[in-house]
Amino acid sequence: MPDSLFQWGTDLIIRVQSLRNPFLDGLFTLLTLMGEEFFFLLFLPAVLWCVSRDAGLRLGVLLFLNDCTNGLLKETFNAPRPDDPRITVLREETSPGFPSGHAQNATVLWGYLATQFRRPLTWALAVVLPLAIGLSRIYLGVHYPHDVIGGWLIGAVILVLFLLGTAIVRQINIGPGITLLFAVLVPLIILSLSQGSGAVRVAGLILGLGTGAVLERRLVRFAAGGGPGTQAAKLGVGLGTMFALYLGMYALFPATDAFRFVRYAILGLWVTFATPWLFVRLGLAPRE
């Protein structure tokens, strides 16, 4: 990338940071958290358990594939992050800069929800939140503007391709055997393209999500709806058990890629199969 682009980006970051104050520091830190793994660990299960099982599953696959694509692009470009001494870096980041994963994630997440539910609120969120989250990365001094713009554009392309792909898949009668085959093949493809910890995490999650989805349809078939009290109870039980499992495996399993893969595969299986089964057993969700 030309030096003039980095110089322009540095100047823009400095101008944006000239507006810094404690309120904006907190606001943009909160916004940037909405593009990170912890947020998705809360948000995706909530969609799957409480709003729509199918939309939640597709959104999960989309986000994990998007995350893997972002990792591959970062490795390919290996672009620097802002390092001018006049820039205040408010959040520590170690991965390459281009494209911005936060901007890319926000684009596919909120864009997909808008296309599925097609309500004024979801369309507004699909515009406002990617813009705000992208701006937060510039304000925090961790991305050049072209990193963020690239993340928006790449996320939009991935979203369109995913929507076209799922539209084709819906025209085909895919049985549980084919679903399981894809749940195994896609992680293998991901791992063949990248051996990084991010790719291992995504591959494990896709294996667990796909396997759990097939088991859930055959053995549980829960319904995602319910009143406010029931939905709150499902979130409490579901998120509580999920994080207990996540933290327990994190403490017990060695920090190797093999165990990371197993850990995230179990987590995906827990979210899509074990938790819906638990909801039905506790009377928090009826069977379809």
Q: List, as one string, the DSSP characters of 61-117.
A: HHHHHHHHHHHHHHHHH-PPPP--TTS---S---S--SS-HHHHHHHHHHHHHHHHH
Q: Mean pLDDT in the chain?
A: 92
- Please answer whether residues 130 and 106 qualify as being in contact, where contact means their C-beta atoms are separated by less than 8 angstroms: yes
Residue whose pair of structure tokens reads 């925090």 in the numeric block: 140
Nearest to 142 by CA among 4, 5, 3, 16: 16
Buried b (16+ CB within 10 A) or exposed e, 84-113: eeebeebeebeebbbbbbbbbbbbbbbbbb
Whether the pLDDT of residue 133 is over 80: the answer is yes
217 Cβ partners below 8 Å, 6+ apart?
176
Whether the pLDDT of residue 286 is over 80: the answer is yes
What does the longest C-alpha to C-alpha distance in the chain come to?
Answer: 62
pLDDT-above-90 percentage for the chain: 73
- Please answer whether residues 195 and 257 qualify as being in contact, where contact means their C-beta atoms are separated by less than 8 angstroms: yes
User: Global pTM?
Assistant: 0.90
- Please answer whether residues 203 and 268 qualify as being in contact, where contact means their C-beta atoms are separated by less than 8 angstroms: no
What's the confidence (pLDDT) of residue 171?
77
Reported confidence tier of residue 81, pLDDT bands at 50, 70, 90: very high
What's the confidence (pLDDT) of residue 241?
95
- What six digits make up the tokens of 251? 């403490």
What's the confidence (pLDDT) of residue 192?
84
DSSP string of 110-140? Answer: HHHHHHHH--HHHHHHHHHHHHHHHHHHHHT
Q: Which class for 32: exposed (0-12), middle (13-18), buried (19 or more C-beta within 10 A)?
A: buried
- The pLDDT tens digits of the residues spanning 157-193 come to 999 999 999 888 777 766 777 778 888 888 888 888 7
Q: How far apart are CA 192 and CA 186, in angstroms?
A: 10
Q: How far apart are CA 13 and CA 5, in angstroms?
A: 12
What's the confidence (pLDDT) of residue 164?
94
What's the confidence (pLDDT) of residue 43?
93
Q: How far apart are CA 47 and CA 45, in angstroms?
A: 5
